[in-house]
Chains A and B, each alone.
Chain A
Amino acid sequence: MVSATTAAAVDRVRKRIETEGILAIRGIRKEFPGVLALDDVQLKIRPGTVHALMGENGAGKSTLMKIIAGIYQPDAGEILLRGEPVTLKSPLDALEQGISMIHQELALMSWMTVAENIWIRREPKNAFGLIDHGRMARQTQELFDRLNIRLDPLAQVSELTVAQKQMVEIAKAVSHNSDVLIMDEPTSAITETEVEHLFTIIRDLRARGVGIVYITHKMNELFEIADEFTVFRDGRYVGTHNAADVNRDDIIRMMVGREITDMFPKVDCPIGDVVLEVQNLTIPGVFHDVSFQLRQGEILGLAGLVGSKRSNVAEAIFGVAPASSGEILIDGLPVQITSPKVAMQHGMAFLTEDRKETGCFLMLDCLENIQTALITRSHVRAGFIDQKTVTRLAEEMAAKLRVKTPNLAEKVENLSGGNQQKLLIARWLLTKPRILILDEPTRGIDVGAKSEIHRLITGLAAEGVAILMISSELPEVLGMSDRIMVMHEGHVSGFLDRSEADQVKIMDLAAR
């Protein structure tokens, strides 16, 4: 029997869910060292709806999802679950309170079976308190039947295809019977028929009243499955609309609405001969038939969303992960670039995307960081480094780039992101490159350092260096580039000239 007070309480909760949604986010702020990832953002998920979260790279979508899944803690703001304020201390805590997440990176244990993966921590036990494998397999089969997934519960996960693993992840998330289900780019690794299957599952869950947050870059998916959508831009909330009320262009405009300021001082300079030519560069399954030309003094911008494999192309050209087919020509002559060392011999330099992971030697000092590339090629006699000359060159370059540090003996980990980046640029400029590949040259650094780096890049182009610049910031690409190449899922989707390019055209090519 339900007492009057209990009934009243249930009623109150129902009312609150009606007004607040199943999940409501208010005023969330999250700061990482040097970067404000989220600033006063909001989001409201109503039960029984699919809510798409849209935004460019770095808009803050994934950060917010990680907060909702209990992986990060917000610096400010509140989260309301079923109308009640909650704190989500850990992923387990979020899960127990009814929030499941399907991660972008697959997080399955390869050497365990499908069933073991799904029921981990919740394994059915027999009378002796030991795991009942038979019942676990039956439960898995029931779950798969309900979701119409055809997979052997006892198969080992390592033997599954990426798409099958994705289905296991989805089944696992569904098995928690959560009220809120977060899907971060669930279709990035699966084929079209599997996407249809996924959508059937999503519609079924929606009918059961689950609130689904769906992160995607793909416009057509948005219109097929989403009821509502919210757009973020640069860590801020832009707006929420019904999917039925808007079209593709409206959404792109909401996503890219940033103004282009005069922060990007690309000056016109004479553009010379073709220095680097890439023909049909391919790594099967990663990128295909990438071809372009890069001229002396030219800045070629390379735009594309996450998953467009821009960085992989750069790594292939520089020999970090060489391509399996296609040709690279320097000054019109075909070359075999098998390692970064060979690339450097051809006058190339490569500023990598992730300063901390593949750029800096954080625990070493500034001098060591600057001189690394130079001493692989020159200023060494019989193994001994001509330290006097190298130090002088490094000091001159650091001064020219205005690296702010008391002296070059300072450890790099004590420098700001912008100064670390300048240090890495100094490392490469000491090798006097003719071809400079820059992968996200200004990511995560403050505005002042940013415009200094832009001035520097322009200066290099004026000196005749050929520059390939990958950037996720459209204003940067538009402001700096002579030409823009856009990639979409491993293919070049088009080139735009400086005169014709704008944010909407780039997004149109990037988002398909």
Chain B
Amino acid sequence: MTTATTQPAKPPRRLPQEANILMVLIGISVVFEILGWITQGQSFLGNPQRLSIMILQVSVIGIIAIGVTQVIILGGIDLSSGSVVGATAMISMSLAQAGSFDRAIYPGLTDLPVIVPVIVGLLVGLLAGMVNGALIAYTKIPPFIATLGMMVAARGFAKWYTKGQPISFPTDSFAALGKGMTPVFIFLLVAAVFHVALKYTRYGKYTYAIGANPQAARVSGINVEQHIVKIYAVAGLLSALAGIVVTARGLTAQAGMGVMYELDAIAMAVIGGVSLSGGRGTILGTMIGMVIFGVIISGFTFLRLDAYYQEMIKGAIIVAAVVADVHRQKKRVKKA
């Protein structure tokens, strides 16, 4: 506001927005801790096993959320993530089956090196994302519609692939991708890469610029259409990665895998302060949002709250996060 321009001497020390979200995380954790002692007579946080399970649970969707974060910063939305998980799970697993299994999908293609199912799976996700991006950038249809179409189509593909039959018995090297804490490490690696990309590269600057004002971005010489395709392609790629990890961990692939993952990933990003109107948000914020999400789910289970209540409360939290975002936007408009 005006104070900023009239007092040039003192640069305002502003806490990053992530600090607020971190406070929310701490607050929620403390509430569960207190409720834990009251109702269960035990600590919620003082249980390393519970915490590691929680992190493991959210990491797979967290990988998707890293891509979804970028799509939302760009001013879009991706509803196809969960279906892309299903499609890539099926394809990857069909190429990752062990030779010792006598009813493999492709009997001639068993015991392949782990790189084959991984690369093919990633390519499928990349392709799905590029189709999303191209539809949005060049036909100008709303992202909601384009990715809704992909959501339905990719799920259909997953079901058609084996006519609904699950695929099992992966090679040990493929199964290793989902073993133990590997999914968490994969998530951290992905998060680190895109944290750096959003902050220090042209790729990131373009993403924020297009999300903040696509017309201004275009006039500034940015190829807006091309960048939109890129971001959706990355989102598709990361959904595929999540699909590979989840199927490796489960040792089986089913056409129904990943249902609702897109909404959980969007929720993590929104809880983490990524603005649905575009232009604002960080990977760090989404990571905190992801942990908040995990704490809530794990906390309710810990309190033995019925699963139905859990879903209803989850819905309320997502809406609350968006209301908070809209409220922030309103304050901004008033200032301007």
Residues on A lying within 8 angstroms of B by beta carbon are 33, 318, 320, 339-341, 343-344, 350, 352, 356-364, 368, 371-373, 375-377, 380, 383-385, 387, 404-407, 409-410, 413-416, 419, 427
Contacts and interface: CB of A to CB of B under 8 A. Distances in A.
Interface of B: 1-2, 4-5, 7-12, 197, 200-203, 205, 208-209, 212-213, 215-223, 279-280, 332, 335-336
- In order of increasing CB-CB distance, the 7 nearest A-B pairs are A361-B212, A376-B221, A372-B220, A358-B215, A383-B201, A373-B220, A341-B221
Contacts of B223: 339, 341
A416 B3 CA distance: 11
A362 B8 CA distance: 20
A152 B302 CA distance: 68
Contact of B212 (A343, A363, A415): A363
B201 A361 contact: no
Contacts of A318: 219
B221 A414 contact: no
B335 A364 contact: no
Contacts of B217: 361, 372
Given A363-B332, A372-B209, A383 B220 contact: no
Contact of B216 (A359, A375, A384): A359
Given A361-B279, A363-B280, A419-B5, A380 B221 contact: no
Nearest to A387: B200
A364 B212 CA distance: 7
8 contacts: A341-B221, A341-B222, A360-B213, A383-B203, A405-B8, A406-B11, A413-B336, A419-B5
Q: Which one of B2, B11, B221, B279 has the greatest number of beta carbons of chain A within 10 Å?
A: B221
A93 to B, nearest CB: 24
B208 A368 contact: yes
B218 A340 contact: yes
B235 to A, nearest CB: 18
A384 B212 contact: no
Nearest to A344: B221
Contacts of A352: 216, 219
B219 A406 contact: no
A270 B73 CA distance: 48
A364 B332 CA distance: 12
A320 B217 CA distance: 11
Contacts of B212: 361-364
A358 B216 contact: yes
A439 B47 CA distance: 63
Contact of B279 (A340, A363, A387, A407): A363
Contacts of B218: 320, 339-340
Given A368-B208, A385-B200, A416-B2, 18 more contacts: A340-B218, A343-B221, A357-B216, A359-B213, A360-B216, A362-B212, A362-B336, A364-B212, A364-B279, A371-B205, A372-B209, A373-B221, A383-B201, A404-B8, A406-B12, A409-B11, A410-B4, A414-B335
